[in-house]
Chain A
Amino acid sequence: MIAEAGLAALWLAAALALLQTLAGFGGLGDRLAPLTGALRGIAAAQGLLSLTAFLLLIWLFARTDLSVLLVATNSHVDKPMLYKIAGTWGNHEGSMLLWVTVLALTGGLIALMERKLDARSFAATLGAQGVIALGFYAFLLFSSNPFARLSPPAAMGQGLNPLLQDPGLAFHPPTLYIGYVGLSVAFSFAVGAMLTGKAGPAFARAMRPWVLISWIFLTLGITAGSYWAYYELGWGGWWFWDPVENASLMPWLAATALLHSVSVLAARDALRAWTIMLALTGFAMSMIGTFLVRSGILTSVHAFAVDPERGTFILVLLALYIGGALTLFATRIGSVRQGAPFHLFSREGGLVANNILLSSILAIVLIGTLYPLIAEGLFDEQLSVGPPYFNKTTMPVTLVLMLFLAAGPLLRWRRDGSGSLPRKLLLPAGASVVALVLLMLFAPDAGLLPLLGLIFAAGLAIASLVPLWGRNLLRTPLPIYGMVLAHLGVAVAAAGMASESGFTQERLQAVRYGEEVEVGGWTVQLLGLDPVAGPNWTAIEARVLARKGEGEWILRPQSRNYPSPPMQTNEAALLSRWNGQLYATLGTQDQQSRWQLRLWWKPFVSLIWLGGILIALGGSLALLGRLWRGFRARYTKRVQEGFA
């Protein structure tokens, strides 16, 4: 019964999405205008129904109802409860349902909260949301029904891929999806603005919180995903330029650019067409990301067996939405009034540079990610594009971007004629020189890119704090703190990446009990092996003693066996110190009873993820500041009206 109820909720939600589309776009003309009044209710109800369907699916997974095909193929009676629930979205159908649920809930939230937009733009925006949701409901109902029954029911269930049996699964996909879907909201706002021709500061202010939310969640999702891959895959790397990783990076790049251009639009009424274009690009990247992940078309560490028909469906949706929006852009952008002009040497100019550089990186990543598909389709050649390409092409642009990032926030709006920029950059430049001297003295053979990365990061870290100079810190608005923190986060993350790539030391050795291995100033010794058992796995666990100076620590890397589905995984052991991480994985035994140990010492690697968290925190401060300001403005207005 529960599965049928879920399916019914999904159909009803789809019907409401259709109604929302009609009512929303109908709000532009006169004939359907009466429906527009009901728009808020329709969108909210659609959100609730979609949420109901999703909760029912979670319920089916929690109870391990093996008469449901999806549960039987992706879950197992012996799985721990956390993974039973998280397993709901650890598969294709469930994750698409999560996608559309987040989308519908966001639509409901816009319907209930949005007060800044004029009525026509509001209706058109919700109409666009309806169209997007409708496509995904069709996708679920016609090609990926999560509630399909299995007859006769399975006995145990096939289980979940062990690599996914990790707390990361509970957190990582929903975070990324909120990010992806947030960009669909920006897209809908942009479509609304194009239809009504109103693309001024009001539009930017209405869109900004959603872009911020999307960007914060994408940042968190990427950061968490990177750390997850780092410890779960046991390969010692934190970013593999894998198509699926790029699928999350590309929307982030677009969202970062959009976030900055939307700020220019809100503050200075400039960059109108540009902002709209970026909003379209951002959602296009979300869709391409969804397509790459869900079609399994590119060989990837994430490649689960997925059938190509689904990929085609998403591709058709992608073509419809993005093609439609671009056509709209081409025909309507002429009717969007010009924004305010500005001098190129100004805050706006700096932000334009930021936008162009981010878009360039985006183009490079997009080309590299899709090139294997193009080469196979056009030239019938099979090839792959990996880290050598991406590092070589994106790093130089990123370094230039860091220069602009340091200088941009120090410029004034409209036109910076003060000539104070060189003075303000004195201290950051000094920090870079100090970093250069220190590196030359203590680590002369780090390699060019890590060296440049660290020098630029040192300068950027100081430069990011300069906007606070001379301000009353108690009266500084939250968004300024947000910007400072996010830019500081970029410097911190860049320093971590440069340090990891420049100074990592690795040892791979087959060792007997008691044998010692040296790596990065650590003495590591294999003490012994123990059999251990978890709720649904057994493992061989190594006891590894790591010593440095007076300190002694025990690391316990495991080699795990899962019976269902049958699979062996390596669980890395990590030892975090203030100045880096010691990373150990256990391999196999050879004929002379030696065990393979692979060890890395990664100086300051944690800064990578700390930087990501700082960036997201900065975004959150900015969001809080904006929301608080909006709330206070409304409150003051209401009080004044009360007195009048």
Chain B
Amino acid sequence: MTISTAPVSEPVAADTPPAPARRPPRPGRAREWWLGAALVLPALVLAVLFKLVPLVRGVVTSTESSSGFGGSEFAGADNYTRMFDDPMVLTSFRNALLVVATLPVWIVLPLVLALLIHQRSPGWKFFRAVYFVPYTIAPIVVGIMFRQILAPDGPLNALLRSVGLQPLAIEWLNGRYSALFSLVAVALWSFFGLGVMTYLAGLATIPEETLEAAYLDGAGFFRRLWSVVVPMLRPTVAYWSVLCASGVLIWLFPLIYALTQGGPGDATMLPEYLVFLTTFQFLDRGYGSAIGIALFVFVAVLSIFSVRHMFTEGTRKPR
């Protein structure tokens, strides 16, 4: 018998076990309930104390108008209505949408690399170890390094010019869109190793023979990828997608901080950086909290499908 993470409805997963019959009801249900309650207690306490309670307190703050560190007064929805007139807030969410639009690249690129490594191509152990390195490098160094690399006369443009791609040698960090996408590219570069690692962990759960059989059928690499590997890897792909969807905006924060500070102008301004600026530089806690809550709603809406998926994935009984 094998354990496969594949959804049983997939044709390739023909060797998955037949659907188990439902367990017959047993006595001691109450005891099992108490055991369950005891087991979830630590996690529940952690989630409530360090996430939900602060979130609720944040919501309360977002309805207050505070002036610096002086007292604050109830302001109702003022902070929320203010956001719609604030071009910086609108730009930051528009930029966030642009970043989210790059998610497919975040999901596919590490998958392709993980598969190549998993196929044991020459030197795969080396690649596996090396791809993870950027993720471990602190953003402050990443920021300083890429400001040099992406400078108008920096090494990247020198390389482009030397291979005859003169028109591509633009002022990367000065352009309205090139700055944002440069930032995303740097972030992707920082995090792809984490994706590769996640996928490798997922691939490890698929029986070798299943994969080998799939590889041997002679289909093209990408067709194989799409029709064979992705379905088998679905839980891992889903997990990594969830991680990216909920994390990409948060991951960009230290890089914005180190690389562009939201500039030039508001070209790389993203909501989480605006929350930071508003709260700590502008001393407007109420408004900063409101933008933070708006960001929470934005990420929650974005993740609604992934959270639903996570929920069903974690609670569904295998057939």
Say if A and B assemble together. no
